[in-house]
Structure 1
Amino acid sequence: MNIYFSINKIKPMLAAMLLLAVCNVPVAQAEIGDRLKVTPSKASLYAGPSTTASRLVSLRGGDQMVEMERQGSWVFVAVKSTGAQGWIRSSQVHKATAKRVVRKASRRSSARSSAKTVAVAVNEPDIMSTSRQVSLLDKGFKNGVMFEGTAGTHEHSFFFDSPLDSRIVNGRFRLLYRASPDIHKQANVRVSVNGKPYKQVGLSGDGGLHELDIMLPASAFRGEHAKVTVRSTLLVTEDRCFDDRINGAFLHILPESSLTIAYQSVERSIRDAWRMLPQKVSISISEGNLSQGQFASTLGLMALLVESGKEVSIKRLPEIGDIVVAPKTELERLIDLKRLTVGKGGTVASMGRALDHVSNLALIRLQNRSAIVVTDPYDVQPMYLLSNEWKLLSAGQQYRVYRPDDLRIKLGLLGTEGDAGYYSLPLTKLGFEPGVKYITREASWQMVIAPFTLPVGTRPDFLSLNIIAPVRWENDPTYEMYVFLNDVMIKSARLENNGLMQNFTVNLPSEYQKQYNDIRVVVQHDVEQGDCRGVMPHDYIQITPDSALVVKKNEDAAPAKFSDLTNYFSQGFDTYLETSYLQNPERALHLLARLSADFPLLIDHTRLTFAGPGDVLSPGNPFVAVGNFALADDMEAPVRFDKGRVKILSPNGETYFDVSELSKITVAEIVKAPAAYGLWVNPSSASDIAVMDRLDLTEDDVAFIDSMGVIKTLNSREPSLAQVYYPDVEDWFDVLGKYRFWLMVLLWFLLTMVVVYLYRMSRANKVAREEDDALYQAEEERMQGGAAAYMHEDHTVHPGDSLDHLDEKR
């Protein structure tokens, strides 16, 4: 009885205490955009929703902030006084209200409140996430981005891959920049993500390096990509006329600027594992010799990764990289022996069941990351589907990759054929954005035409450009248009002042074309009158979507230079490799990956052929050969390595360099077989071929390459510039070619001597004839005088008299 009474008395007291706790617990019940206050006397702002994340700033009780995002027991806020952004526990803030009213509660409401209090008091564990950092340097901006001049507003957008299946925790954009020392105090820089502005700061005029950190909530990442836009207004003075004349303001965005995304990865999402690979990717292959299928799959993956700007390294099992290409039997054996290792000293626990049930494409979960596994039967075609299609927007130098078995289908659907083999391709299908531009002084459009986006067997011929320019008043000058092809100006025209659509035909000269053709259209407007401090004219201008690129069939199928091979190989080609590369695949894989990305070559991994060291290369289709092959006698190559040593001679017979003595030189050349042309690459023995940054093969038909890229090219059709010489195999023509300089000197000397001799003989004969003529004339005069005297005495003429004695005298 007493116990029952005590319990009944305790219940109301407990309910009151719980109600009091509910009223006093500082719980953030606000929504996004509401104002919050810090409850305790001290609190910290973290870089992520975890106490293990780095601390950003310290807060005091009463500091006000705005809620931007909420994840469990953490709130993403922006501090009103300083603008700092970060994460704070929801238990340390409450909604800032003018007045708090505490009402009496019944026993039932007290019970509900106590339940609610218990639920809030249980803090969720810190979120464990994986982070990925991508810099502008990784996106291809080796020198960053430079904003120059005070005219208008400068803007540049960067596209970063985002996870699609994983849960995004948060992100951070770190902007490193340096402004000109004399920048005006009103100059500023603003950062927006997916069109939403997050922070704007004034630029400091001290000329030093500055850092701007912007914390981003999960809501900032929507879709496949995060579009980060940096916009800046540069001023030097308040006098716009003066600013335009000196044009001295600049803002340099450093390539170390980066975006970091923290996310909770999904173990079964191969798509996210592929999209979120780090910049430096490692591929693990078998310990021993590779099979042909394993080599082809590894090559396919490396070509995709290198094309997307990744730095790829090759490891050997049992060390596990980001991607593993190996047969199931080998993986099972290493799992049983517990030999798989991760990094330095780390090991992988047993993966349990056999891999027979696993498809050829899977994920394995490691200690702190996942690894993509490609196993037998090898097939890398799904990777082409996982590869994104925004690379052109990302850095302006990356291009779409099509699956080899689907290439011709896609190309056949692009163009509409007209007369004489011409195709008209709308620019919108080639990645061109014909959006409306807001112009004061200048507006520009840019696009890059990749070779794989053109119909097979065609090349660009001209642009059909439709543009609408604003209407100007009488004294205001019209607009000028300039068109550039690979930084060569090929068209300039003045736009009409009627506001109607205007069409321009812009020829694309073949001598300025490359494999990738960069086309840029610039429209400028010069304001001649008006107050410089007044309002600048703002007009709209647009290149309309019906503008098109016209291509024509390439009639000359014989490739004369390296850039011609891209079109020549568009209908497919065979790839020949030495069998030794199955044992030591590193150099060949790195070289082929660079060729595939930079040349470019769309290697069909199902058409790989491995030839032994004694096999003679005699292809019947267009081909790419990598290795020190012996060529058939009916094949024509500018440089042949089956003739012993190779030297390159200058026009006067001096040696440029001895190719055979340079073991770190890779030679690439165009070779002619009886049935087709091909590209023959003889790799060097250097191990540093993997660090090759870019392979730029455009002009000429012979190239000498080292780890730094192409060092020299030759045109074998111009032997007067340079000539190939084989010292070990000499015939009469080689001897004549080797000593042609001295032979020419000797021939010139002999010809000179002959000319001198003939001249002297001619001179001697002339003198002799003159002497004879004088002698004959004197004798004739003498005889005529004697005959006259004789006739005076004896008028009989003696016909037997002659001048024969003169011949005897001669």
Structure 2
Amino acid sequence: MKRWYIVLFACFAAAPFGALAQTSSTMTDSSNVILTRVLDLAEIGFQNGVEFEQLSGGATFFFPTGTRDAIDEMSLVLDYVSGQTIPVERNLQVRVSGQVMHVERIDGETSRGRIEIELDRDAIQSGFVEVGIDYAGASSESICIDERASGDFLRIEPSTRIILSLDRAALDDVARVADVMPPRKRLVTVPSTSADRALSFALRAAAAYDAEAGMITFESGDSDSGDSWTSTTIRLSSTETGGVGGAQVSVTNTPKPGLLFEGKEPSLGFDVIGSPWGPLSSGATYRIDGSRSTQDTITFADLNIGTLDQLVTGSTTFDISASIDAFPVGQIPMGVQLLIAAARSVNGQGVTASAYMNGTLLGSRPLDNEGPTWMSFTIPAGLVVRDNQIEVLVQRQIEGGSCRFGPQGYPAQIFPESRFILGKAPDPIDDFFLLRQAFGNGLDVVLGEDVGAQEAMPWLLPVAGAILPDAVVITPQSQIIAPVDGDRPRPFLYVGFQAPAGADAKVRFDQGRVEVRDNQGSVLFNGEMLNDVGLVQIVEVNGRSGLWLRPGAGAPPAPTPVAPLLLDRGDLAFISSDGVQIVTSTRRASLIDVVYPERFDAMQLIATYRPWIVGALWIALTLIVIRFLQGVYHRAGRGKKS
């Protein structure tokens, strides 16, 4: 089976705001400063690289390089590992912007190789360098030889990269810096900044820059030393300029360019900066306004997914991503209707299409019609999660050519008229991913009196990245306010060591000593161990659903792109420096039992002595049955004597 990859990514697109302003800040001593910026496959989403086998495969990557004006030199370094079991002829072709730049013959058994190519700045098109890779080979002149016999493979390593030498003096514009800045961000605030201002800004930055994958940290000072530009400093000023609702973003006057946010609503600056993936947004990732009205369907075109087209020889897979953020608030996909067309073979054979949702088979349908055909599949509610993946496997029987010609591929397409059927979502209080969707309507953030913003930030950033959509509207509040009659209640995010007043929290810390046990009664957390971990819990206060984050006393989470902090299903999670320790649902079949040994109410007493109580009840029931049977026996005996 051939494997082909066409790689397109996009983040949120830039949005115009009348009250926003971008300014530039040039450096007087930067005329001779050259910065090195490395963009590798891991950065654009391929932490494990890509792999091909059976003497066939290809991939196309888009590296965001920004404008060519700031680039002094540029080169491509391609690392690969290959192997085979029998001698075969193999080659690797590298294309840049559609032109063949290098052809490499691959010899021997398992080996490593590196290809280095100097690139001209003209290779940049619309802020990207397109790099194509084609892998091919043959084991015999006879086409009847099975290509699987070679046991070959070729893996393009995630260290494959484009190296940019950037002229610091040319990076004097916000758009230029945003297009090429490293994905890792360092958030720095001025000490005089108010807690509410810093908190709302940090939450928005965490949501926009993937804090759940460790892409943003809260620090002080500038630790990015050397010539390599590996992180971007984002500074929040205490200056409230720019008018009502305004934000001003400028380039910092530092050796390595950073961004300075000012104004009364500095978070709006994230919208005007946008993303370097904007020109490719029609191909893959999307964002839907969470406030849109309720509807019955949402098409692939609404999600900026165009026509999907592949050649099918034996089998091929169409991958379609659908985040919960893509659907209107309060609705989830209950089904998918695919409009598919596939060409018949020369012998009139059609194909079979099988649809999967997050790895679970939804159904399979034959496709024998000459034109486009609708195929409907039901999606069980239990399959929907935060990041959903629809896979459509299209298969056809390979038809040989009597050893005169190789198998022929025929086109198959999925059209943008395909659509998701929407239904009412469960209550946001049930699962983290549903609460994330509810945050699309905005949220109130409340900082408890028992915790400071500075100490909570290392815990808050990764949790905010995991639970908040990218373009969330954040409003600081001093307390959780009951909703007004007729208004849609906004969810909240509460940060504090104690549960918010009136919350129906499963785990509390105002009832004395706490023990968290599994279903067999073994203690999982208690005492200092429980105090060290962080607690993330969905609670309800005054008719409003929200999230309670209790920072731990131990080391905060340290997520990475390979091991991100994900909060998906469940409503209670314990987190630590190792990530999510336990996540469970307290409203369904809970995996834990929370015990308060110092609280002796009826339910606590029953929970503590449950085995003894059950045993005593069985003994009492047994004695009652024995006494009853004895009475029956004695009455029967007296009846016989009489």
2:156 maps to 253
- In structure 2, relative to structure 1, the CA distance for the partners of 1:466 and 1:764 (3 Å cut) is closer
Bigger radius of gyration among the two: 1
The range that moved more, 310-319 or 255-264, is: 310-319
Equivalent position to 2:364, from 480, 492, 496: 492
- In structure 2, relative to structure 1, the CA distance for the partners of 1:521 and 1:763 (3 Å cut) is closer
2:493 maps to 624
Name stretches of at least 5 consecutive residues in structure 1 with no aligned partner: 1-125, 331-357, 612-616, 774-810
Counterpart of 2:338 in structure 1: which amino acid? L
Instruction: Give me the TM-score of the superposition, normalised by structure 1.
Output: 0.66
Distance, in Å, in 2 between the alignment partners of 1:137 and 1:247 is: 29
The answer as to whether partners of 2:312 and 2:409 remain within 8 angstroms in 1 is yes
1:158 corresponds to 2:158: no
1:135 corresponds to 2:74: no
1:480 maps to 352
Offset of residue 759 of structure 1: 3.6
Equivalent position to 2:217, from 306, 313, 318: 313
Equivalent position to 2:378, from 498, 501, 507: 507
1:443 corresponds to 2:316: yes
Equivalent position to 1:363, from 233, 251, 272: 251
Equivalent position to 1:301, from 200, 205, 225: 205
Equivalent position to 1:384, from 267, 271, 275: 271
Counterpart of 1:371 in structure 2: which amino acid? G
Distance, in Å, in 2 between the alignment partners of 1:161 and 1:287 is: 34
- In structure 2, relative to structure 1, the CA distance for the partners of 1:244 and 1:602 (3 Å cut) is same
- In structure 2, relative to structure 1, the CA distance for the partners of 1:233 and 1:663 (3 Å cut) is farther
Name stretches of at least 5 consecutive residues in structure 2 with no aligned partner: 1-30, 225-230, 241-245, 484-488
Offset of residue 729 of structure 1: 2.0
Counterpart of 1:145 in structure 2: which amino acid? V
Partner of 1:537, secondary structure, is: coil
The range that moved more, 635-644 or 514-523, is: 635-644
Distance, in Å, in 1 between the alignment partners of 2:621 and 2:355 is: 58
**Structure 1 residues 604-623: Cα deviation after superposition (integer angstroms, max 9, x where no partner):** 45412356xxxxx6654422
1:666 maps to 534
Which has the larger strand fraction? 2
1:205 maps to 108
1:699 maps to 569
1:262 corresponds to 2:161: no
Partner of 1:753, secondary structure, is: helix
Distance, in Å, in 2 between the alignment partners of 1:365 and 1:164 is: 20
Counterpart of 2:209 in structure 1: which amino acid? L
Offset of residue 715 of structure 1: 2.6
Equivalent position to 1:679, from 547, 571, 577: 547
Partner of 2:625, secondary structure, is: helix
The answer as to whether partners of 1:138 and 1:310 remain within 8 angstroms in 2 is no
Offset of residue 436 of structure 1: 3.3
Counterpart of 1:548 in structure 2: which amino acid? R
Offset of residue 210 of structure 1: 1.1
Equivalent position to 1:750, from 620, 624, 634: 620
The answer as to whether partners of 1:133 and 1:258 remain within 8 angstroms in 2 is yes
Offset of residue 173 of structure 1: 1.6
- In structure 2, relative to structure 1, the CA distance for the partners of 1:458 and 1:717 (3 Å cut) is closer
1:782 maps to none
What are the equivalent positions in structure 2 for 1:580-729 lying under 5 Å apart? Answer: 582=452, 584-585=454-455, 588-602=456-470, 604=472, 606-610=474-478, 620=483, 621=489, 622-633=491-502, 635-658=503-526, 661-691=529-559, 693-718=563-588, 722-729=592-599
Distance, in Å, in 1 between the alignment partners of 2:576 and 2:214 is: 20
The alignment of Structure 1 onto Structure 2 pairs a total of residues equal to 591
- In structure 2, relative to structure 1, the CA distance for the partners of 1:680 and 1:273 (3 Å cut) is same
The answer as to whether partners of 1:387 and 1:401 remain within 8 angstroms in 2 is no
Counterpart of 2:548 in structure 1: which amino acid? W
Distance, in Å, in 1 between the alignment partners of 2:453 and 2:609 is: 44
Offset of residue 558 of structure 1: 5.2
The range that moved more, 298-307 or 637-646, is: 298-307
Offset of residue 177 of structure 1: 0.9
Offset of residue 222 of structure 1: 1.9
Partner of 1:527, secondary structure, is: coil
Offset of residue 742 of structure 1: 0.5
What are the equivalent positions in structure 2 for 1:507-526 lying under 5 Å apart? Answer: 507-526=378-397
Distance, in Å, in 2 between the alignment partners of 1:518 and 1:209 is: 33
Partner of 1:569, secondary structure, is: helix
Counterpart of 1:624 in structure 2: which amino acid? L
The answer as to whether partners of 1:323 and 1:372 remain within 8 angstroms in 2 is yes
Distance, in Å, in 2 between the alignment partners of 1:556 and 1:329 is: 43
Distance, in Å, in 2 between the alignment partners of 1:181 and 1:245 is: 10
Offset of residue 174 of structure 1: 1.2
Partner of 1:551, secondary structure, is: strand
2:235 maps to 325
**Structure 1 residues 68-105: Cα deviation after superposition (integer angstroms, max 9, x where no partner):** xxxxxxxxxxxxxxxxxxxxxxxxxxxxxxxxxxxxxx
Distance, in Å, in 2 between the alignment partners of 1:685 and 1:499 is: 65
The answer as to whether partners of 1:188 and 1:202 remain within 8 angstroms in 2 is yes
Offset of residue 127 of structure 1: 7.6
1:531 corresponds to 2:402: yes
Counterpart of 2:416 in structure 1: which amino acid? P
- In structure 2, relative to structure 1, the CA distance for the partners of 1:722 and 1:327 (3 Å cut) is closer
- In structure 2, relative to structure 1, the CA distance for the partners of 1:580 and 1:732 (3 Å cut) is closer
Distance, in Å, in 2 between the alignment partners of 1:190 and 1:488 is: 36
**Structure 1 residues 105-125: Cα deviation after superposition (integer angstroms, max 9, x where no partner):** xxxxxxxxxxxxxxxxxxxxx
**Structure 1 residues 233-289: Cα deviation after superposition (integer angstroms, max 9, x where no partner):** 254555554434547322111111111122324243112222322344323333577
What are the equivalent positions in structure 2 for 1:39-58 lying under 5 Å apart? Answer: none
**Structure 1 residues 526-552: Cα deviation after superposition (integer angstroms, max 9, x where no partner):** 224433462321322222333233324
Distance, in Å, in 2 between the alignment partners of 1:324 and 1:528 is: 58
Equivalent position to 1:144, from 23, 29, 49: 49
- In structure 2, relative to structure 1, the CA distance for the partners of 1:640 and 1:308 (3 Å cut) is closer
Counterpart of 1:490 in structure 2: which amino acid? L
Counterpart of 2:336 in structure 1: which amino acid? L
Distance, in Å, in 2 between the alignment partners of 1:608 and 1:568 is: 17
Counterpart of 1:437 in structure 2: which amino acid? Q
Distance, in Å, in 2 between the alignment partners of 1:676 and 1:322 is: 37
Counterpart of 2:578 in structure 1: which amino acid? M
Partner of 1:430, secondary structure, is: coil
Offset of residue 471 of structure 1: 2.6
The answer as to whether partners of 1:478 and 1:494 remain within 8 angstroms in 2 is yes
1:195 maps to 98
The range that moved more, 654-663 or 623-632, is: 654-663
Offset of residue 217 of structure 1: 0.7
Counterpart of 1:631 in structure 2: which amino acid? P
Offset of residue 740 of structure 1: 1.3
Counterpart of 2:612 in structure 1: which amino acid? W
Distance, in Å, in 2 between the alignment partners of 1:717 and 1:392 is: 43
**Structure 1 residues 435-478: Cα deviation after superposition (integer angstroms, max 9, x where no partner):** 4323322333222112333233322232222222113344x642
- In structure 2, relative to structure 1, the CA distance for the partners of 1:670 and 1:208 (3 Å cut) is same
Offset of residue 652 of structure 1: 4.8
Equivalent position to 1:226, from 110, 118, 129: 129
The answer as to whether partners of 1:702 and 1:716 remain within 8 angstroms in 2 is yes
- In structure 2, relative to structure 1, the CA distance for the partners of 1:311 and 1:760 (3 Å cut) is same
1:426 corresponds to 2:299: yes
Distance, in Å, in 2 between the alignment partners of 1:288 and 1:163 is: 35
Which has the larger helix fraction? 1
Q: Percent identity?
A: 21
1:243 corresponds to 2:146: yes
